[in-house]
Amino acid sequence: MTIQTMLLTMGSGMLKTCGIFILSLIFSLPLGMVVCFLRKSKNKFVSNVTRFFISVLRGTPLMLQLMVWYFGPFYLFQWSIRTWRFPALIVGFSINYAAYFAEIYRGGIESMAIGQYEAAEVLGYTKTQTFFKIILPQVIKRVLPAVTNEVITLVKDTSLAFTLAYQEVFSISKQIASKENSLIPFVVAGVFYYVANYVVAFVMERIEKRLNYYK
């Protein structure tokens, strides 16, 4: 197999990897905020259940969670999972990363001085206005480095899609390497992951600089 043919073959896997990454990020970032609010709920039952939920997701392997999300519907409800592979990946990645993002958001929110809430109340802001107009913009700036680290990790974790036999770039590179008895497919996959992470880091750094309105 020539290098050109190899790249063309792996190209479809790269697109699938990008699809997993983009969709997982789109769903996990806002879902993490929802989980954060539930974690900070004044209702002890809701707060404790959410804390347990986060603990389980952060304390068990992502690979295991993907398998549960994929095979669970069949074992529990006898549903056909023939077309469930890709949705299961998105659900698994999104919910797992939402748990991590939730803790990052919570740390950022709790780091805000209580005086800002009190000042906003004196100025007549409602709690909703205080959060979205005063607290949230500062929280985003504070948590951006930690969020960037998780996003970079997500790029690399997409390789776990091979657990469900999904033909993304890592799975295809393994198949080609085994067939051709060559290390080149792994090198190509490694370059792809590095470039993808470089792009993510560059974009996030630009966003961070745009938000650097005070030092």
Tell whether 96 is covered by a domain: yes
Tell whether 175 is covered by a domain: yes
Amino acid letter for position 49: V
Q: What is the pLDDT of residues 166-188, one digit of tens each?
A: 888 888 898 888 888 888 888 98
Number of domains in the chain: 1
Tell whether 215 is covered by a domain: no
Cβ–Cβ under 8 Å, residues 138 and 112: yes
Q: What is the pLDDT of residues 27-81, one digit of tens each?
A: 999 999 999 999 999 999 999 999 999 999 999 999 999 999 999 988 888 888 8
Instruction: Provide mean pLDDT across the span 159-172.
Output: 89
Q: What is the CATH number of the domain that holds 79?
A: 1.10.3720.10
| Residue span of the structural domain in which 70 resides | 3-210
Amino acid letter for position 197: N
Tell whether 112 is covered by a domain: yes
